[in-house]
Every structure is written in structure tokens, then in C-alpha cells.
Amino acid sequence: MDVGSILIVLPLLIIFSYLFDIFARRTKFPSVILLVFTGIVARGISSYYGYSNFDFLDSLVPVLGTIGLILIVLEAALELEIKKEKTSIIIKGFLAAFFILLINIILVSLFFGEVIGLSYPTSVIYAIPLSIISSAVAIPSANGLLTKNKEFIVYESTFSDILGIMIFYYSLGQAEKGEPLIGLEPIFTLIGQIFLIIIISIAITYLLFQLIQRIEHHVKFFLILALLILSYEIGKDFLKLPSLVLIFIFGIFLSNFSNLIPDSLKKYIKTDKVGKSDLHEFHLLTAESTFLVRTFFFLFFGFSIPLESFVEFEPYIIGATVLLIMYGVRYFYLALVMPDDDSKPLLYFSPRGLITILLFLSISDYDIQKSNIVDEKVLLVIIIASMLIMIQGSINRKKKEDPELEPQQTFTEIVDSQIDKK
């Protein structure tokens, strides 16, 4: 493909993604599905015209996925409002994320091991990505819910991302070393790593916060993003730490620094140079960068899937069983902990997305036993079906008047409202 053709195709893809986003906001149909199917159709057209060299996707998709993962967690953290009166909903979100994630991993891995025949710990490693809720899909889709339910989805899906990724890389590390996944020594090591990354994250967050205030150049937030990505990769690959905690802590601090800094320390930590306009700019930069990366990630992911993958029957059976486990666990947990009628729509908000794909694809980079049965076809069935279930839940939920019920908002309106609250 020549330069002129590329300069025509790339802008068209971004325009289509923007139109998909508008369509998704008005119909509640996730734009991610449209992006994946656009990629699948594009591959079919490319194959028809004789272009069949898709090796570049093997390295491009993981890179886009990693950057997208960092941006999505950062964007989700920037949306979180930390106040004393929100302690209850934060705890509920964390506990739901932890227990639903853990039970899903156990039951899905048992299914993979006992029924499909995957060995241990391969069955556990393949179960973890499928058990993580996608905050990138769940949070925007929750705009039409009651305020308390929307906040619950924000906290639950964000914690599910963080916890799931930490458990995944911990399990991969144990499997590569040939050590058991559960044991006092590796668990205490993991806890120590978490405390270490929290301390490092606080230090880096302080330095970046000071840097934001001191930089006078008109371009500074891309520098901050570059330093965040660099810190994430160094922590993950060289220090073997759960570096996503760094991104999460930085986002939380930046959007809530006025509430998180104790009065006794405010005279040492100057905050007067970080105003509403700075936060607004950084929110918009993160949102637009996430949009761009997410667009090409899901397009290229769809592009990597051949059309003949859909004629096989086995992926549908495996995917349906995993979905049955997934929503069964969620139903019983919510019925036990949040039995009120207002919380019933939460059952449907358990989509899988970018993080599931990224973690699933990264398994091939590690020296562990691989599965030829649980593959990208199963992954695609689960992702699309979970999103369609979420749509159906949004359509079927009770339409009753409530002063907390909020209309759909654009990202800019959400950012402005959050900043005004500070």
C-alpha cells in the first residue's frame, strides 16, 4: 500500500470510529463491536484482493493494547471521586470486584481443566483474562443508570481491571518458574511487591505533580504521559512489579489532590499552579488519546481474525459455558449483597474487552504450556456476547422516574462537572 492510500485509509478509519461512538451513545450499542467487525470485513476485502501478509499484527496489536491499557486505567482513575461520603460505595465496588473475579477464575479454570482437559496451571492462566470486567466498555455504558449504580460500576470495573492484571502476571510468573500458584511465600512476595509499588507510585506521583506545576512549555501533558508509560514499562519488565498501580494512583491523586493532601502537608506541597484548565486539558488529552488507541487496537484485532473462524461450532459451546458461569456467579453475589430492585440492572454490566484481549494475547510471550482449544475465537464469542447482554439489560431495565437518573453526557461535560466539584 502506497503513502497516498495510507493517508486516505487512516483518516477514514478514525472518522468511522467517531461515527460509531456517536451511534453507540445514542443506541447503547458498544462501538467496540462495530470496530471489531469493521476489522474483520477489512481483512476479508484484503484477502479477496490478494493481500495476505498480516505478520505485522503480531507486534502491533500488543503495543497498541498496552498503551490502551495504560490510558484506560488512567482515564478511569481520573473519573473517580474520593470523598468520605463515598467510602461505602468504594468498599462495595472493591469487594464485588474481588470476590466475583476470584470465584469466576476458580470455576472457569475448573471447567477448562475437568471438561476441556487443560493442565494446571494453564487452565487458571486462561481463565483469568476471561474473568475481568472491562472498565473501558462498562463505564461509558453505565451513563444511563442511577447515580449509585453508575458509581458502583465505575469502582467495580476499575478494581476488577487492577486486581485481574495483578493476579494474571503473578500467575504467569509462578507458572514460568514451575512453582505452585498458591503458597505462603509467593503470596507474601506479591503483597510485598504491592506495598513497594505503592511507595514508588507515591514518590513518582509527587515528582510528576511537581513537574506539571513547573513546566512552562506549552506542550507538557504528552511529556507526563510519556514518563508514565516509561515508568510503567520499567516497573513491569525490569522490576517485575504490578506497575498498573502506579497509573491508578497517579490518576486518583491528580483528580482528587485537594481532598487527598492533608491540611498539615499543604504548606509543603504547592497546588496553586494546578488549576481547572490544567485538569481539563489533561482529561481531554487522555480521553482523545484513549479514543485513538482504542480505535486502532480493536480494528487491528478484528483484522487479525480470519472469516473462516466463524464456521466452527466448538468456540460457541465453550463461550456459552463461560458466560453461564460468569453471569451465574454475578447473579448470586448481587442477590446476596445488593438484593434491592434498583440494583438489578447491575447483573448485565459485566462486559469483557480490551484488557481481556491484551492479557489473552500476551500468554504467547511466556514459556508456559499453550492451549489450542481456548483461543481467539472463544475470546471473540465471549466479548461480543457479554456486550450484547449488557445492551439487552440496558434496554430491559425499568423506566421509572428518579431524581438521580442522569441523561447521557459527553466526556467534556463529565469532565467539566467533575472539575467544578473540586
Q: Inform me whether the pLDDT recorded for 326 exceeds 70.
A: yes
Q: Are 328 and 135 in contact (CB under 8 A)?
A: no
pTM across the whole model = 0.80
- Lowest-confidence region among 20-24, 97-101, 215-219, 322-326: 215-219
pLDDT (mean) for 382-390:
89
More confident site: 91 or 142:
91
Q: Are 345 and 394 in contact (CB under 8 A)?
A: yes
- Lowest-confidence region among 6-20, 110-124, 255-269, 371-385: 255-269
Sole residue written with cell 459527553: 410
Q: Inform me whether the pLDDT recorded for 422 exceeds 60.
A: no
pLDDT at 6: 72
pLDDT at 269: 65
pLDDT at 86: 80
Domains and CATH numbers, the chain: 7-421 (1.20.1530.20)
pLDDT (mean) for 10-24:
84
pLDDT at 396: 61
- Tens digit of each residue's pLDDT (9 = 90 or more) over 330-367: 999 999 998 888 888 899 989 998 788 888 888 877 77
Maximum distance among all Cα pairs of the chain, rounded to whole angstroms: 68
- Tens digit of each residue's pLDDT (9 = 90 or more) over 170-181: 888 888 888 888
Per-residue pLDDT band for 79 (boundaries 50, 70, 90) equals: confident
Cell numbers for 415: 469532565
What is the C-alpha to C-alpha distance for residues 245 and 162, in angstroms, rounded to an integer?
A: 7
Q: What is the mean pLDDT of the chain?
A: 80
Query: In Å, what is the CA distance from 42 to each residue of 18, 51, 66?
Result: 18, 11, 23
Residues 6+ apart with CB under 8 A from 389: 323, 327, 348, 350
Q: Judge if the upstream peptide bond of residue 345 is cis by omega within 30 degrees of 0.
A: no
Q: Are 93 and 152 in contact (CB under 8 A)?
A: yes
What is the C-alpha to C-alpha distance for residues 418 and 243, in angstroms, rounded to an integer?
A: 26
193: Cα separation from own chain's centroid: 22
